[in-house]
Every structure is written in structure tokens, then in C-alpha cells.
A and B are shown apart, each in its own frame.
Chain A
Amino acid sequence: MPKEEPTYPFCPDESKYEKLAKIGQGTFGEVFKARDKKGKVVVAMKKVLMENEKEGFPITALREIKILQVLKNDNIVNLLEICRAKATPYNRHKSTVYLVFEFCEHDLAGLLSNPQVRFNLAEIKKVMQQLLNGLYYIHSNKILHRDMKAANILITKTGKLKLADFGLARAFSDKLNRYTNRVVTLWYRPPELLLGERNYGPAIDLWGAGCIMAEMWTRSPIMQGNTEQHQLTLISQLCGSIAPDIWPGVDKLDLFTKIELPKGQKRKVKERLHNYVKDQYALDLLDKLLTLDPSRRVNSDDALNHDFFWVEPLPQDLNHMLSRHNKSMFEYLAPPRRRAPIHQQQGAPGGGPSAAPGGAGGPGGVRPTGHNPDQHFERIF
């Protein structure tokens, strides 16, 4: 035995836990709520899918393990241990590995899809402050998340926010890199990835943070493209035409000439979001997060210093608001959010939960339950 008790005590048998409910389904496997039979501690168990893996243990899961063993922060989901279900005839001699996490009661997508859950401005500030704080921490540790979206933002019942799902995360360097650009769920994917950039950095996560911030008011993802082309069109309609004058060097990106980009679009971030967001500081921060040129997009440090967080009303803990809700809210378990994205309700009055029925917007109008079919993953790099 090692000298001291290791942080991840030898991978105990999975039978140590009893599964209570399935709370998530992703490309990488299922997530369960489970309870430690002895200590009665409630945890979340993420199953690592080994089927279809000709290359053995998935490198993405290896990265997740490695990264989460290093990242220890209040705003990052805490990996408790790893456990293995022994190969037996009952599981077809397949040995399965589970990552065991501390349990968080809600995810942000689940909360936003419940009209009973209302965030006031000070609470939205607290959500965004914790989210940016998590990003600041991982980026200073040279890690990219690469899958920012509301469903990957967990919130405990006391209102602590945790960035979760590091299944696409990887370490980055400041050198010239060639990473895959097939990451990030389409609706949260920044323009540089959509245009084929492979040498990208932390700015990709801040675009996602911008999308999520807007969603705190709109209550559904703001740009729900069906294809990459469509997504770029929606981005251009909101953030203005993508061109070298506002984004020097964009014409050097692989897909810039190969994809049709709307021309002559004016930037309307503040104007369009004004229907939902009345706070000027919020609009200004959103404008800075949803900056097309990644080199000019605000970083997490500067975002945290933005006046939004430092003028009244100051960020306010969520525990009081959440204490009114005693049921877990996860996107996976929630009914589809029946609100059209903002690009389908131009002119529609903001606010009020009864606005714009979802069906009107066609397939993009309703957020699918469970996992998003538009997710693009690269399993190797």
C-alpha cells in the first residue's frame, strides 16, 4: 500500500453505491444519482462508455480524470473517486469505469426551463460571477473547457455553481497549436471554431459564457442553429457581419471563403437583447463577451472586474431563492423549454412567460430534451 491514503482510494467496486435515478445522458455515457451504501453520501456517477472503443479507454475520459484530479476549486465540480465494476458474466465481461462526483441538485438548463424559478438581477450576477471565476481558474491552469453550455453548469441547492463535464476539455499551450475545431455544442460554438480555426484558446469558453449569460434572461439558448452555416448566419445577424475590418485576419481562416457569410449586417447585440436585459452594465458585458474577434473578446479576469459585478445591486447568494424549490432540476429530466430563441421572435415583447410558442420556430425553436443532437465531438484530438 502507498505510504499514505491516496486521494483516490483504490478504485473501490461500483457495488459500493446504489443507483437512485438516471439524471443525464451524453455521448460519453449515462449519469446517475447514487448513494454510498455505507456513508449514505449522495453522489453523481458518470459511466465511461467502453463499447465501440477500439482504442481502449477513451482518451477524452483520461483527460477528464487527469484534469479533474488537478483542478480543485469551489466553482469546479469535485471528482471524489473512480470506481470500476468488475467484469462478470452479468455485464458481459465488460468492465466499466465510473467517475464519482459530488452531487449537485440542479443544472442551469434545468433551472432555466422551469418558469417557477426566477432569478433577479443580483442573483444573475452571482451566477455569472461564479461561472467566470471557474473559467478564470481553469484558464490559469491552462485548461480549456470546450463544452460550455447551460446543461454543463451545475448549481447546488445552496447556490454554489460548479463547472462540470470536462469530457471535451484539454490542456492548451501558448504555442501554435492544431486542435480539433469540432468541439462545443453548436449553439454555444464561437465564430472562430465555426470558421475552422485550430489554433484557438480560452476565448472560446468566454463566447459560451456570453451565450449562457444572455440565456439567464431569455431562458432559452439565444442562437439555435441547425447547421454550422445556419449558426454563422445567426451569429452575423446578432453580432454583425464577419469581416476583416472588425476582425483582422479572419479571412485567413480555412472556411472564411468556403462558407456563405451574410454581408452588411449591423451589430445589434445590445439592441436585440435589450428586450430582455434592461441593465446597461449587463448589456455592456454581454457585448464584450459576444465579441466576434477572439483576440478582442474579454477574458475572464477582465470580465470579473467589469462594473456589472461592482455596482448595486451587488451579486447575491442564490440559497434563499433556491430554498423555495425542493426538487432537483436537470435538463435531462425537464420538459422541453417552450420558448423560441430570440432570432425567431423579433419584435415580440420581452419578458412574460407566455411569449412566443415554441412550435412556431420550427425544429430549432424547441430545445430538445436529453442530449443535443447537434453536439459535435471528436473522440481523439
Chain B
Amino acid sequence: MFATSSQLKCWLFSGETELAKHRSEANKAFIQTWRQDKTDEEVAKFFLTPSEERILSRQFEVVLRKFCSEFQPPMPKCVIGTALAYFKRFYVFNSTMDYNPKDIMLTCAYLACKVEEFYVPIGQFVKNLRGDREKFADAILSFELTLMEKLHYQLTIHNPFRALEGYIIDLKTRYKEIQNPEKLRKCADEFLDKSLLSDACLIFSPSQIALAAVKFGAAKEGISLDGYIRNKVLKTATEKEAENTLYQLRRVKAIVKSFEQTTREQAQGVQKKLDRCRNQENNPDSEIFKQKALDKLNEEDNVPAVKRAKLSNV
């Protein structure tokens, strides 16, 4: 139930301002750890700024959604919604310089498949990627626990898709003024799809996002749902509560609409900068990461020998 969920308790923020504050703190914390004796000027040149980090993470949200929507076998919507929600939650408190969004993005999708009971074995999962698939698989699995930890093991995501179904059923049964509520579905779906690229899921409850989707979906069809919202959905609400809900719906719309596609040039510039300033300990291609993995492998090689030794003692 959403009302008792960790989503409501821990993962809804007051708005873009609060989110920006957390993200910039994560940015600052990373720089503080890695700046050594760099001057402020050098820092600005070397590290990503909070706004550059946003360009990067937004860029990868687009990539992640595209990856999910082209995924084979086709991913149910809730898997896509959950994957994006994980990705967004992760970068509220972590810097893209610490964990590369490219790795985290795939791990989010893989974990979302498991959690939403759309299980795809890792071998099949990476078939959706071009390039060194084994390397992708290793990267995904090596970041899985970190991702879970950074999400505070709060893995249940309440997506707006079910809420949308609920509103459509409700319209059919309680609001005869609209002849065929099914015709709102297409626009409402598009709205929800678009909302995946915004911070909406970090600010609003799924039912608010879904109601905004129905309302603005209807508006596009030239239908007003104000009567339905006022007299049915908010029938028992006080005047103040009703005003607030309508205000929130306008906010949802504004945030979903505010999405701007970052240009390829912008993203490439940031990427280049990132290649130098990222945390190499979390870079699967770095020497230090490889060394750690190698140590682990060597240690593992020793295990069967130890076990055998024990057995022969018996």
C-alpha cells in the first residue's frame, strides 16, 4: 500500500529545489574527497559541476528508457518505470563521477526485471546490448549490491500505471458524462511515458501523476475533467485540500512538460570531462578495478583446494 510505503516515507521530496540541493551535496562530497590540493579554479575545470551532472544523468535517463522500450522480450511498463525510478533515486544522493551512469543504468534495468517478476537471465539480458557482452554482465552483477544498498533496500516501487487503470475504471463506472473513457488512454499513456523522463516520481505520489495524466490526456481530446475531479475524486475533500490537489496536478504537468532533451554535443562534452574525473575504483575498465577483480578471482581459485584439503582430513 502506498500510504504505508517507503516510497512515501523516504523517497518523495518537496520539489526540484530540494532535489537540486541533495544532488549538489553529492557533487560537493565527491569533489571534497578527490580534489587533493587542486585550487578552486582547477576544481571547476577538472570536476563536473552539478549542472553538468544533471545533463549527464538526464541523458542516461533517455538512454535507459530507450534501452527498456527496445528490450527483448518486451518489458512490461512497470519494469521500465521501476528501472527509471531506481536510477533517479540512486543519483539523488550519489554523484555521476563516483558511479558511472552507464553501469548503474544497466544494473537498474536488471534489478527491476527481478523485482517486478519479469525475470530475464543475465545471459539473455546482455543479448540486448552490442559490444563485449561478458564485460557488460560482469559490470551489471558487480554493481548490483551497491545499487541495492544505495537504494536502502527499498525496492518496491509504486508506479502510476495501476493508478491510471483505476481512474479509467472509475470514469467508466462513476462518470457517465464521458462516453468512452478508453479514448483518453492514448494521451494519458503518452503523458506517463513522458513523466518517466522527469523527476515527477521523486516529488508526487503515483495517483497524483496518474490523475494529471488523465486530466491532461482529456484536455488534449478537448474534454474537461474538472467536474469529475471536483465532484467525484475530491467529493469528500475540504476546499483547501481540493485546491491543493488541483495545484499539485498543475505542478505535475509543469514538471513533466519542462523536460528538455540534452543535445548530443552537450552530453559528449560532459562525458569527456567525466572520463578524467571519475572514481577509477568504480570503473570496470580501470587498472585498479581489474586488480581488485583479479584478487577476488585468485582467492576464489583457492577455495576448492581448501575444501578438498579439509575433506581429505576426514
Contact = CB atoms under 8 A, between A and B. Distances in A.
Interface in A50-77: 54-57, 59, 62, 65-66, 69-70
A69 B152 CA distance: 12
A353 B114 CA distance: 48
Contact of A2 (B10, B115, B149): B10
Interface in A7-62: 7-11, 54-57, 59, 62
B122 A55 contact: yes
A6 B93 contact: no
Contact of A4 (B10, B119, B121): B10
Interface string A73-84: 000000000101
Contacts of A69: 6, 153-154, 156
B119 A11 contact: no
A10 B144 CA distance: 16
A65 B144 contact: no
Contact of A66 (B119, B140, B156): B156
A66 B152 contact: no
Chain B at the A interface: mostly helix, strand, loop or mixed?
helix
B300 interface: yes
B40 interface: no
B124 to A, nearest CB: 11
Contact of A8 (B121, B122, B152, B300): B152
Contact of A56 (B10, B122, B154, B156): B122
A89 interface: yes
A65 B153 contact: yes
B138 to A, nearest CB: 11
A59 B119 contact: yes
B9 interface: yes
A179 to B, nearest CB: 10
Interface stretch (A92-100, A156-164, A334-342): A92-100
Contacts, number: 81
Contacts of B121: 55
B295 A89 contact: yes
Nearest to B299: A92
A380 interface: yes
A380 B113 CA distance: 12
Given A54-B122, A59-B119, A8 B114 contact: no
Interface residues of B, number: 33
Contacts of A1: 93
B10 A3 contact: yes
Contact of A84 (B141, B149, B296, B303): B149
B299 A93 contact: yes
B149 A11 contact: yes
Contacts of A380: 119
Contacts of A171: 117
B155 interface: yes
A93 B295 contact: yes
A93 B148 contact: no
A310 interface: no
B145 interface: yes
A2 B11 contact: yes
B284 to A, nearest CB: 15
Given A2-B11, A4-B9, A69-B156, A56 B140 contact: yes
Interface of B: 1, 6, 9-13, 93, 110-111, 114-115, 117, 119, 121-122, 140-141, 144-145, 148-149, 152-156, 292, 295-296, 299-300, 303
List the 4 closest pairs (A to B, CB-CB), nearest first.
Answer: A93-B296, A2-B10, A92-B299, A6-B10
Given A8-B152, A56-B140, 10 more contacts: A1-B93, A2-B10, A4-B9, A7-B10, A55-B121, A57-B145, A59-B119, A65-B153, A70-B1, A89-B295
Interface of A: 1-4, 6-11, 54-57, 59, 62, 65-66, 69-70, 82, 84, 87, 89, 92-95, 97, 170-171, 380-381
